[in-house]
A and B are shown apart, each in its own frame.
Chain A
Amino acid sequence: MAKYILQKVLIAIATVFVLATATFFMMKLIPGDPFASLTTKIQVQEKQRIYYGLDKPVVEQYFIYMGNLLRGNLGYSIKKVGRTVVDIIAEAFPVSAKLGLISFIIAEMIGYLFGILCAQFRGKWPDYLLMIFAVLGIAMPSMVIGPLLRWLLGVVLRILPVTGWGSVQQIIMPAFVLGLGTIAGNTRAMRASMLSTMTQDYVMTARAKGLPLWKVVLHHEFKNSLVPLIANLGPGIAGIMMGSFVVESMFLIPGLGRYFVDSITNLDYPLIMGLTIFYGTFLVTLNLLVDVLYGFIDPRIRETVKGAAK
């Protein structure tokens, strides 16, 4: 198992390196110049390029950047003057992560519950009702459902604040809007997985033995239906914890989401690189954890790894 994990770690490091290199050169291909401005004096623009080292050849800039990266220095943001990329991520990521995690936990629980209900009531009205919800959840983008909820719950009913961050009340709406797609996706995935598991021999046997329904559902059907869904956990958590430009802008949440868009719009090179490397590392780490988790949950994988080691 240790060799398996080590192998995965080495692949993860190589992935981040390739990601950083590819991003650096692709970023330089974006047309434009971060200092090109119609209001700043031409002489000042020229000096700014020199100040940030953008007058040097791209390959030289790459080696300088990678050298700094190895020392943990992601540089200063070009647009947020005086703030390091590390500071920006350290300040904004916990906000996005908190919102994302709450949203993810709620979405997983509700999605799985709905999926189980759909499977148990297959072809009956609860199945149809929840599947309609699932289709709507996937089809309706957050930029539609968000303002609708904000208007209904914040303006008309005044039971929740329309924007802001900090209190429990301020989390409810954005967490729901952010997690709606995940709820819908999980409902459909769990339903399909449950339906497949329900026809397995061991489930039939459990039912034939006369086990209570909840035991059959939880211990045999749900547990085994979960295995194929775990593979999506890593990217799912990473994606939702990195923040959403739309949801964070709509509810005025000071998270990381808007930086992914703003950094590119502003051609803030250090921030583009910092965010990509951070996201990449986070995603690769979570995938690594899921791979390891898989080994623990699915005995077949554990055995395969052991067999390969022998």
Chain B
Amino acid sequence: MRKLFACLVALCFLASALPVFADDANVVRVGMSYDPNTLDYAEVNLDSANFIIEQTAETLIRDAGNGVYVPGLAESWEKSEDAKTWTFHLRDGLTYSDGETKITAEDFRYNLLRTIDPAAAHGNASFGITGSLAYFSGEAAADTVGVKVIDDLTLEYNFEYPAYESTFTSVSLYGALEEAIVSQYPETWGSSVETYLCNGPYMVKEWISDASVTLVKNPNYYNADVATLDEIQVIIGASGDTAVDMILAGQLDICDFTNPQQLQTVQDAGYVVKVSYTESYQGLNVNHKGKTEETGKFMGNTNFLKALNLALSRDNMVLSVRKGETAANRLTAPSEAPYAANPDYEAWPTAGDPELAKEYLNKALEELGVTLEQVPTFGLMCYESQGSIDTLAAVQDMWRNALGIETVIEAVTIQDMISNAMSGNYDFWLGGNAPSVPDSCESYLSGFTTEQYTALRGYSNEEFDALYKKTVAASSLEERYATYADLEAFFCENVLGIITTWTVNHVVAPQSYDNLYVTSGGTLNIVSLTK
């Protein structure tokens, strides 16, 4: 036994004599939760893929952070007075990362038409361009879609509603794609280093599925000097406690955290928060038609929903079941652009107001002609994770104590949750939504319009429809955000959804790191990072 023990000790010493990790001066290691799965512009949807795209692909206009948009592959552009027609002038001499294939206006048209190709059913298909939905539905030809190549360096887009600079930062719709290579490898071009031609400051050197992606400088980028790092290593799976251990062991440089304990541990180790942004707004989705006819009667009553909303103490939730999150007092999170246009708005007190809640409940009961005893039990649906169940248990407790309303928690699988949500088979459902650019209209609020009515929300209101239309029809962001404030107020005051907290993501890095930022879409940019 002694000999065996001695051998083990010797082995440990041997191992410690070997280098555990490299400390290369101009290499940065970034932690990401998941493998990108694909870099196909028409399909990317994970944070890791968005991060890689952000460093390796450029769009017509570039998001430079803090709401600033600068020329990207287009050196200039003009827009019509109603902001529905945009004409772009590309930089001359642009090439892809192979240094040979030229980027032309046709590549942008091809990319857009490919993403909305009716035969392919790509996940990122979106229909803001005129004629795009008709084309996708097979009712119109490709040449009816509102994208026109004027010449090799000029192209024009036509939109159903006004567009903004931020619109053109989406690579799925406004990136450039070389048709020859995609036609040659239609299924695999975005999942192989050999076929992934890019046009950003960096390019992909190596991709080990579910392990790492290595980016190096793209010498053929039109402004190659902007890339300051020799290598960016994206480490897949490095998140949570694993990322903490890696940082403490010196194996990781940049990572993001939402968990306050993990954040504190890495801060104690000398890392600092470089940028924070709202990752999602959490809360209870409301099915305004109710899961059953019986519950639907109450779910469609605004005063009843107001009572439930005011009975919640977001402050207590943040202290107990939603640690590390921020108590929400309105729909729009502080890091979203419309917030700055209306910073003083407070839709409800984060501490709740049980007395006022009771008043609204009594009004609701009077309107519905029932007594408290006749109020049915409502379902609270969530994904079967302990955190979600704890959150709903807190909601259940607050509603019971403040109002005497009974609920039952329905913890289901993720598949059941999505399926139930989409078919309207729920009363309240705990879930989050990611903030969007330029605001939450198209990504979230559109779901409450009569035009896009689904069983998911079960909501329809003419006043809301009018406000929504007015907002998306605004030809400037200033005008849009002014109307958006009314739309948001309508959402909050009529309790279209019960927003409880904002999840804030903190990007940490060593103190000396500089020049990193998060785009409006929530993607980290480290193109010009200095160490």
Contacts and interface: CB of A to CB of B under 8 A. Distances in A.
Interface in A139-190: 147, 150-151, 154-155, 157-165, 167, 169, 172
Contact of A164 (B248, B251, B419): B251
Interface string A258-277: 10000001010000000000
Interface stretch (B231-239, B335-343, B499-507, B522-530): B231-239
A35 to B, nearest CB: 9
A48 B123 contact: yes
Main secondary structure of the interface of A (DSSP, over half): loop
Given A42-B454, A81-B43, A92-B209, A163 B238 contact: yes
B18 A36 contact: no
B506 to A, nearest CB: 21
B118 interface: yes
Nearest to A110: B4
B214 to A, nearest CB: 13
Given A38-B456, A44-B121, A172-B15, 13 more contacts: A32-B413, A32-B415, A43-B125, A48-B121, A80-B35, A80-B37, A80-B191, A81-B43, A82-B38, A157-B12, A163-B237, A167-B18, A249-B237
A286 interface: no
A253 B242 CA distance: 12
Given A38-B422, A81-B191, A82-B38, A252 B237 contact: yes
Nearest to B208: A254
Contact of A79 (B18, B37, B118, B235): B37
Interface in B89-135: 118, 120-123, 125-127, 133
Interface string B384-426: 0000000000000000000000000000011110110110000
A51 B120 contact: yes
A97 to B, nearest CB: 15
A161 B18 CA distance: 11
B150 interface: no
B47 interface: no
B15 A252 contact: no
A32 B242 contact: no
29 contacts: A32-B413, A33-B418, A36-B422, A38-B418, A38-B431, A40-B123, A80-B191, A81-B191, A82-B192, A92-B210, A126-B1, A147-B241, A155-B248, A159-B12, A161-B21, A162-B242, A162-B245, A162-B246, A163-B245, A163-B251, A169-B18, A249-B242, A252-B236, A252-B237, A254-B209, A254-B210, A254-B211, A254-B236, A265-B414
Interface in A101-155: 126, 147, 150-151, 154-155
A38 B45 CA distance: 13
B6 interface: no
Contacts of B35: 80
Interface string A225-258: 0000000000000000000000001101110001
A161 B191 CA distance: 29
Interface string A29-60: 01111001111111110011011000000000
Contact of B418 (A37, A88, A167, A253): A37
Size band of the B side of the interface? 35 or more
Contacts of A37: 123, 418
B246 A82 contact: no
A300 interface: no
B419 A160 contact: no
A65 interface: no
Given A43-B137, A150-B245, A163-B246, A82 B187 contact: yes
B242 to A, nearest CB: 6
A31 B419 contact: yes
A151 B245 contact: yes
B324 interface: no
B183 to A, nearest CB: 14
A150 B238 CA distance: 14
6 smallest beta-carbon distances between A and B, as pairs: A32-B415, A47-B121, A82-B191, A254-B211, A81-B38, A254-B210
A51 B121 CA distance: 7
Contacts of B415: 30-33, 36, 267
A161 B235 CA distance: 14
Interface string B205-249: 000111100000000000000000000000111100110011011
Contacts of A147: 241, 245
Contact of B242 (A30, A36, A41, A252): A252
Contact of B419 (A32, A42, A44, A252): A32
A172 B188 CA distance: 35
Contacts of B236: 252, 254
B279 interface: no
Contact of A155 (B45, B238, B245, B443): B245
A215 interface: no
B40 interface: yes
A76 interface: yes
Nearest to B13: A159
B86 interface: no
A269 B1 CA distance: 51
A264 B414 CA distance: 11
